[in-house]
Structure 1
Amino acid sequence: MDILCLGIFVADVLAKPIKKIPELGKLELFDEMELHTGGCANNTAIGLARLGISSGAMGKVGNDGFGDFIIRNLKENNVDAQGVKRASDANTSFTFVMIAPSAERSFLHYIGANATLCYEDIDFDLIKECKILHIAGSFLMPGFDGETTAKVLRKAKELGVTTALDTAWDSKGNWLNLLEPCLSYVDIFLPSIEEAKMLTNRTEHTEIADFFLNYGIKTVGLKMSVKGSYIRTKDEEIRAPAYKVKTVDTTGAGDAFVAGFLAGTIMEWDLEQTAKLANATGAACVTAIGTTAGIKSLEETMEIISSSQ
């Protein structure tokens, strides 16, 4: 296994187009509804597998139909799911995704089994078999975030594993107070620009990157949606533009970017080509409804890059 994605798994119900959130006691109509698997670890692991990378998943789902659906879908997408455990005291996490006519989305979320993930659930025998351990969805795992995540990252590095981390939006506002114990054990950090601004209290890309590099992080990648991405290491700076595609649904685009970036990393591509692959994987993602439906093979994803040149 090349890359193990440890984090959140979610059953996503997507509804579109949601033109207006109904007032209490009122009704609004929409045209389409679909059931998909989601969650940062799920999306990134499947994205990696689509790109031809050997990937695995680790986390927690409920002992219910949604949990069955998630595990079955992982296996159908050639993801090693042996690290996904069943919670006996919580149902599978669930998100209602409301897709606006513009393709932007809003969420209602039940945290479920993701909240029960803890240190005792982690299989270090699996972790030591991988080359990269990716923590996917920090701030959405209250039993695992913060010191517990740091403990797992530290152990992974002791095992010789490269570490990566991606954040979600912190609705509780803890931000750096919760994440800081982890940062010195992270090799690759891939937040969105908005999350990075909240973590650092800075707005300029260079200042944000410097902030994280000072913790010893080797590579900082800022996801900037239609503006592409900004990648920094100690010695390199890359500004990679976004690719123009027809946007259907932006759900999962950030996780697809991470999959592309980690794929380029594991294939030992240079930083510029890795950033291009990350942006192209994110672009492919938004062309279909669902978090992974639009992600294609490496060859097809590279066509997005070549067609823009």
Structure 2
Amino acid sequence: MSANDVVSIGLHIVDVLGRPVTEIPPGQGMRRIDEIAITVAGTAAATSVGLARLGVRVESVGALGEDSLGRFLRQKMLDEGVGCAWLTEHSGVPTSATMLPIRPDGSRPALHVVGANAVLEADHVPWSDMAETKVLHLGGTCLLPGLDGEPAARVLERARNNGLITTLDLIPTGDATDLDALLPALPHVDYVFPSYEDALSLAGTDDGAEAARFFLDAGAGCVVITMGGDGACLAARGRGELRRPAYDVDVVDTTGCGDAFAAGFITGLVEGASEESALELGLACGSLVATGLGSDAGLTDRAALTRFMEATPRRDKERSG
């Protein structure tokens, strides 16, 4: 049995990124770019790396293929100090991977292989390894067909019954099945982390306040909506909204900013900080990751994060509504 502050369950992906990409050359043409990177990614794996860099004891739970990408991902996470005893390997499926051509403004289309993430199930959750765990994080709802819906609800309910704080991050696909994957889980979630665009889409509205109410009415204890350069908004049942502006940074790549935000916010929960302090940590982590290429850029350790928070100005503009 190992001692963990956080168990992070869900998507484990290898990202291959290149920047800046302004076009895909036709045929077998070539374009020179400035930088290519290969990184640990995914709403469970990248969040685990961020947590480990912030000094949090974390165990990552996910499914890999029996291939070179899976071996890379496991070794990289071990090198970062993430517990990997519950990363399972599966024959006949590849490790999940994404190719990301990063545009000059930091945005990125994605070419994605679902792979082994599709075989992750509730039976993979290491209940015997969670005696000291404070937070159970589920990352990747809507892209975990073996876990989405009622299986995720059972996992989260059991975690809360065992006294854990539960957090959830999601990646909607735009299909009607997204709500089937998400809604059963929300009554058992203390904090859910949708992006602004995803919150609007799932709620079927163009109003941020209505989107927040959608998650709260569906049962979530608290919804934390990330809004990119416009900061973040936290809303909870029976309480008002808390909004904080983003840090003012030059954006290189937005890949993994949401995962880093979750890592910062969860770090605050582990430390027993206020929700406002957790929100600040999340914003700082997400902003730092935006300054480099890939999910592991910028964020190095807690001391550097503190220096960044003390020295970096904030953006004045916040999204209204």
What range describes the TM-score normalised by the shorter chain of this pair?
over 0.9
Aligned counterpart, 2:167: 164
Quick one: distance in 2 between partners of 1:28 and 1:140?
A: 33
Counterpart for residue 29 of structure 1: 31
| Residue 91 of structure 1: aligned partner | 94
Partners of 1:171 and 1:72 in 2: CA distance:
33
Which residue of structure 1 lines up, in the alignment, with residue 212 of structure 2? 209
Residues 48 and 236 of structure 1: is their aligned pair in 2 closer, same or farther, counting only changes over 3 Å? farther
**C-alpha displacement at 1:192, in angstroms?**
0.6
Distance 1:64 1:257, change over 3 A: same
Aligned to 2:292: 288
Structure 2: which amino acid aligns with 1:99? I
- Name the SS of the counterpart of 1:184 in structure 2: helix
Q: Distance in 2 between matches of 1:275 and 1:157?
A: 22
- Confirm whether residue 51 of structure 1 aligns to residue 66 of structure 2: no
**One of 241, 253, 257 as aligned partner of 1:253:** 257
Q: Deviations over 1:112-165 (max 9, x none)?
A: 000111223222212454111100111111222112211211222222221110
Deviation per residue, 1:31-62 (Å, 9 max, x gap): 23222121111110111111111111001111
Q: How does 1:147-226 map to 2 (within 5 A)?
A: 147-226=150-229
Give secondary structure in 2 for the equivalent of 1:170.
coil
Worse-superposed segment, 229-238 or 10-19: 229-238
Greater Cα shift, 174-183 or 67-76: 174-183
- Which shifted more, 252-261 or 298-307? 298-307
Once residues 248 and 291 of structure 1 are traced to their aligned partners in structure 2, the CA distance between those partners, rounded to angstroms, is: 12
Who is 2:244 aligned against? 240
Deviates more, 1:158-167 or 1:197-206: 197-206
Letter of the structure 1 residue corresponding to residue 95 of structure 2:
T
For 1:210-260, what per-residue CA distance to the aligned partner results, in whole angstroms no more than 9, with x for missing partners?
A: 222233322210010010000112324211100011222111001001111
Specify the SS of the correspondent of 2:223. Answer: strand
Distance 1:33 1:209 in 2: 37
Contact 1:243–1:304 (8 Å) recurs in 2: no
- TM value normalised by structure 1: 0.94
Q: Report the 3-state secondary structure (helix = DSSP H, G, I; strand = E; otherwise coil) of the residue aligned with 2:177.
A: coil
2:255 and 2:155 mapped to 1: Cα distance?
28
Letter in 1 for 2:187: S
| Contact 1:205/1:230 (8 A) holds in 2 | no
Is 1:17–1:30's contact at 8 Å kept on the other side of the alignment? no
Which segment drifts farther, 220-229 or 88-97?
88-97
Q: Which residue, out of 40, 60, 64, partners 1:61?
A: 64
5+ residue gaps, structure 1, are none
Q: CA RMSD in A?
A: 1.7
CA distance in 1, matches of 2:151, 2:228: 30
Looking at structure 1, the residues matched to 221 and 92 of structure 2 have their Cα atoms a distance apart, in angstroms, of 39
Q: Distance in 2 between matches of 1:91 and 1:26?
A: 26
Q: Secondary structure at the match of 2:110?
A: strand
Provide the C-alpha distance between the structure 1 equivalents of 2:229 and 2:163, rounded to a whole number of angstroms. Answer: 36
8 Å CA contact 2:149, 2:182 repeated in 1: yes
Q: 1:171 to 1:204 in 2, by over 3 A?
A: closer
Greater shift, 136-145 or 180-189, is seen at 136-145
Gaps of 5+ in 2: 315-321
Deviations for 1:269-292, whole angstroms, at most 9, x for unmatched residues?
222222111111001111121101
Amino acid corresponding to residue 18 of structure 1 in structure 2: V
Aligned residue type for 1:230? C
| Aligned 8 A contact 2:141 2:181 in 1 | no
Cα 1:114/1:30, change in 2 over 3 Å:
farther
Residue in structure 2 matched with residue 14 of structure 1 by the alignment = 17
Once residues 6 and 196 of structure 2 are traced to their aligned partners in structure 1, the CA distance between those partners, rounded to angstroms, is 24
Question: What is the CA distance between 1:76 and its match in structure 2?
Answer: 0.8
Taking a change above 3 Å as real, the CA distance of residues 22 and 172 of structure 1, as seen in their structure-2 partners, is farther
